Amino acid sequence: MNSTHVLDLFKLTDKVALVSGGAKGLGTVINEGLLEAGVNTLIFCGRGRHGSVEDEQERLSELFTNAKIIGVQCDVSDESQVQSMVQKIKNNVNQIDILINNAGVTWNAPTIDQTFATWHRVIDTNLTGLFLLTREVSNQLMIPKGGGTIINISSILAFQGVEVGSQIGYTASKAGVLGLTRQLAIEWSKWNIRVNAIAPSFIEGDTMAKVFTNEDSPVRETLIETIPTKRFNTPTDLKAAVCFLASDASSNINGQYLVLDGGLSVK
């Protein structure tokens, strides 16, 4: 009989985590959650526009003085940049226990108005970038070290469309993330690597969803009324989901997706 106290299973003490898209938006929420759960070394990457990587590193360093915070400028859709970043991590830290694939973009326009360039911009970041980073981290740092856990941030739009606006590239890419998650979970379990996904609906404060969630949004209350719990997700909801799937509390959960939507998808 395992004597480990159940609360200890949720701790991420002394773990090393890498968060893509961690310089702004929901990535900063994920950064905080991992550090609050005990992660000792947090590495996050972003494209670095407007000094966001430096600003987030400074912010986290002030909040979590006992942790090592490393911000890296990297566009995950660029294979050479991903390979360079992972090689530097290997040379300097040589450990990644937790990978959170959070980097994502969207382009809101009717499908008939989408261009080849806008389609590719979304797919290259949301799906190809996830594949590139996952492949490099697993090959270079997880498999040689005996395993790890990977969490892919998908979306409720992976399995249902929207009536307001059109995000065809985003929807397709997030559905692809779920397929990739299931396939890798099967392939990589032999290396003790668990791969799961989180599929959230709207999250309060998310800049990508502000047109729906802002207090002055004309559709906010209408959307909330469709959710059984009558509220959007909070940042804490996302933190809790990430830390659960990253921890030993979910050690036998693999190839699954955790839906954060207040029951919307079961109606």
Active site residues: 170
Identify the CA nearest to 39 among candidates 115, 126, 104, 98: 98
Dig out the tokens for 117 from the structure.
Answer: 């360039």
Residue with tokens 């830390």: 243
Q: Where are the alpha helices (DSSP H) in the chain?
A: 26-36, 52-63, 79-92, 116-123, 129-137, 168-188, 210-213, 220-225, 235-246
Question: What is the rounded distance in angstroms from the CA atom of residue 99 to the CA atom of residue 184?
Answer: 13
For 110, how many CA atoms within 13 A lie in the half-sphere containing its CB? 2
Amino acid at 107: W
Alpha-carbon Rg for the chain, nearest whole angstrom, is 18
In contact, 224 and 231? CB cutoff 8 Å: yes
Question: What is the rounded distance in angstroms from the CA atom of residue 25 to the CA atom of residue 188?
Answer: 30
Question: What is the rounded distance in angstroms from the CA atom of residue 174 to the CA atom of residue 94?
Answer: 30
Is residue 67 within a helix (H) or strand (E), and if so which, with residue range? none
Question: What is the rounded distance in angstroms from the CA atom of residue 158 to the CA atom of residue 160?
Answer: 6
Question: What is the rounded distance in angstroms from the CA atom of residue 77 to the CA atom of residue 127?
Answer: 9
